[in-house]
Chain A
């Protein structure tokens, strides 16, 4: 299994100029990712940390003011390396939905309200393949049956379906052409737990059936825990920690990750849990040094001035934190208790 998509020192800024005032929002700053074929890669972080911007760059669907100022995004399909920035419009059209697919945020609202579900599917399929209406209905019916969606859905209008069912129909629509690489942006946010579980189940089914790669963006660690193989934690446009799901949940090292996980309420105890103090920094003037130092309980002097590098602390586990770095150099190989 090789890498299917990689980014190298990617920097993407929103550059605006209004009334002579230039403003640069550093939404994605120096991010290097290697996403493997067939894995579910989770991207987590608070709102405003650059999750959705990163996704837009990975998809190659961005316009000014969002600009890639440095680095690159490279896809690897069938042994061929494609640089996202060099693609012609035709190439993009060719890849999109067939090879790369996208489940947008709030996707239960994307269905055309005046067309039956089967007609929406036909529109979609016929834009990419030469099919008759009968063939595309058959294809849709088979696919929906495979995913455990009831027959009734085909002839319904979107408003007749429940929110969770609409969400699942949209996921089916985005994946019916068996894309190799699927991006999902907050696919379960604003859904209640039962529906959320149904949607997670379905994403898992879709991903496992063809062994496609799923890049999952959500702030909900609980969803990542149930779906992702590896998790990258984003804070203020930077990747601060990356490891496999089990390690992130059981042995998080970066203070921000630890906050994220410890602040989650659960049905195990009703003890008071503390929220993360402060709020994420504005990205047009990010703090100096480590971007988390203003909210960090362990901040040292060096954190205010020097930016920590993303270093490997154990095989496959990366963290960008001076405190962690110091612990490791002190104990050789420390175990966080």
Chain B
């Protein structure tokens, strides 16, 4: 899935282009040093003319947050290229980051109460962002502008003016965090687990808001989560991550409707169903030590995979285009002997 053709500038260039992106950390054990690929050869493109919600799902320690940090320019890439509107993000100067990049790309984090200082009034963040990024010509206009932005998340300035974060509910604080991100009129929002701290009932209000922002404000969202149900509900496309790899990627309805990779199948069948008749029959294995899976040669899922073959232990599976999505698994590799494959029946539902 590599995109090699050089892109013509501005208009037709994709919004975000990620090409074989890797982040390598080094773990020191005594004198020995071991490489640790937190993100390993990730590639995908988000188009600029069609806003979309791109969901990234995976269990904790799958490299989701490292990927988000690289997209936000908070962590430099070890290998590969990350382009935003045809500019390589790693090469941007500090000034360009501030005057251009952060106007365009904004983050929303997991815990709104950790994102805001408990000692500062919550509206001050909105004023500061508006003024630092010179979103209004006249200072007197700022409250009106902020109010306008807040209305996009279903709040008014009067509701939050002068209040401290602890006076707001989790859902309200997260809305303010999203409003803060919207102040610069970004084209891309990177939301890292924005609903995992919230109650199920509040989740829907935040997730519905992302849908609305996409429709009304033409904002693309990279929605990082471990919650498959909301990813299915909002995502146009989805990438499933496992120990730094993107193991399956494609349109959400296809990937989650009919998952092909054994790991995606495992994920899907693990969603607790509220129909009690669908309780789980078979047991699953969990990873014991995360670092063991990361440093595994061959397929990283081989230790837990119900369809594992000999080839999986020593060889890295290729990404194969199959039924409209890319899947990183030997089961779909025509070069592998068909007799060895024990195809799994996809999870029903």
Contact = CB atoms under 8 A, between A and B. Distances in A.
Interface of A: 46-48, 148, 150, 152-153, 156, 160-165, 168, 190-198, 200-201, 219-223, 225-226, 245-246, 249, 259-261, 263-268, 270, 272-276, 279-280
B56 to A, nearest CB: 13
A148 B284 CA distance: 11
A150 B226 contact: no
Contacts of A249: 274-276
B272 A192 contact: no
Contacts of B211: 272
A225 B273 contact: yes
A268 B256 CA distance: 10
A152 B290 CA distance: 13
A263 B200 contact: yes
Contact of A272 (B208, B257, B273): B208
21 contacts: A47-B170, A190-B196, A192-B60, A193-B226, A193-B227, A194-B267, A194-B270, A195-B60, A221-B200, A225-B272, A225-B274, A225-B276, A226-B276, A259-B201, A261-B274, A263-B200, A266-B271, A266-B273, A267-B268, A270-B253, A280-B169
B73 interface: no
Contact of B204 (A164, A220, A265): A265
B158 interface: no
Given A264-B274, A273-B208, 5 more contacts: A150-B288, A165-B287, A165-B289, A194-B286, A265-B232
Interface in B14-34: none
A198 B284 contact: yes
B200 A163 contact: no
A279 B173 CA distance: 13
A265 B252 CA distance: 15
B94 interface: no
A49 B31 CA distance: 53
B199 interface: yes
Given A219-B200, A268-B349, A225 B270 contact: no
A293 B328 CA distance: 52
B219 interface: no
Closest 5 CB pairs of A and B: A222-B272, A192-B226, A275-B205, A275-B204, A197-B270
Contacts of B344: none
B60 A163 contact: yes
Nearest to B279: A226
B20 to A, nearest CB: 26
A160 B170 CA distance: 32
Contacts of A265: 203-204, 207, 229-230, 232-233
A46 B274 contact: no
Contacts of A162: 60-61, 286-290
Most A CB contacts (10 A, CB to CB) among B59, B203, B208 go to B59
B202 interface: yes
A264 B289 contact: no
A168 B290 CA distance: 15
Contacts of A164: 59, 286-287
Interface in B248-304: 253, 256-257, 266-268, 270-276, 279-280, 283-284, 286-291
B168 to A, nearest CB: 10
B143 interface: no
A148 to B, nearest CB: 8
Interface string B60-103: 11000000000000000000000000000000000000000000
Contact of B274 (A201, A219, A222): A222
B232 A270 contact: yes
Contacts of B60: 162-163, 191-192, 195
Most B CB contacts (10 A, CB to CB) among A160, A168, A195, A267 go to A267
Contact of B201 (A46, A192, A201, A226): A46
Nearest to A271: B233
A192 B266 CA distance: 12
Contacts of A168: 286
B205 A226 contact: no
Nearest to B280: A197
Contacts of B256: 267
A259 B266 CA distance: 29
B201 A223 contact: no
B287 A264 contact: no
Given A249-B275, A267-B256, A273-B233, A279 B280 contact: no
